[in-house]
């Protein structure tokens, strides 16, 4: 919920998004620890995806693995 609370409300679009996300953020009140924490593209809600800051944030947040390496890669044929 802290991520939604800290969202900017400078524009109408940001205010609308925050008001739509808030009910989802408060639905779960009894969080249970998990044995495995999986991240995807770092911590995209805190930093832009695939950036060093994002990967550091997910590691510092306790992620055990980031599944980015498992994404299929598109390659150009010659």
Q: Does 48 lie in the same domain as 23? A: no
Domain tally, the chain? 2
> Rounded to whole angstroms, how far apart are CA atoms 41 and 54?
7
- pTM value is 0.42
> Rounded to whole angstroms, how far apart are CA atoms 13 and 4?
14
- Average pLDDT value for the chain: 76
Q: Does 49 lie in the same domain as 72? A: yes
Q: Does 38 lie in the same domain as 21? A: no
- Of the two residues 28 and 20, the one the predictor is more confident about is 20
Single out the residue of 67, 66, 61, 56 nearest to residue 3, CA to CA: 61
pLDDT of residue 45: 82
Hey, how many other C-beta atoms are within 10 angstroms of the C-beta on 70? Answer: 8
Q: Does 8 lie in the same domain as 41? A: no
pLDDT confidence band for 28 (50 / 70 / 90): low
Q: Does 73 lie in the same domain as 51? A: yes
> Rounded to whole angstroms, how far apart are CA atoms 46 and 54?
7
6-35 average pLDDT score: 79
Q: Does 24 lie in the same domain as 3? A: yes
Q: Does 23 lie in the same domain as 57? A: no
Asked whether the predicted pLDDT for residue 73 surpasses 60, the reply is no
Which residue range(s) make up the domain with 12? 1-29
50-75 average pLDDT score: 73
């Amino acid at each position: 919920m802290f991520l939604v609370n800290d969202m900017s409300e400078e524009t109408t679009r940001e205010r609308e998004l925050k008001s739509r996300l808030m009910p989802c953020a408060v639905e779960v009140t009894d969080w249970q620890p998990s044995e495995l924490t999986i991240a995807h593209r770092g911590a995209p809600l805190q930093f832009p995806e695939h950036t060093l800051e994002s990967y550091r944030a997910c590691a510092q947040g306790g992620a055990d693995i980031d599944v980015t390496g498992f994404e299929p890669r598109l390659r150009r044929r010659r």
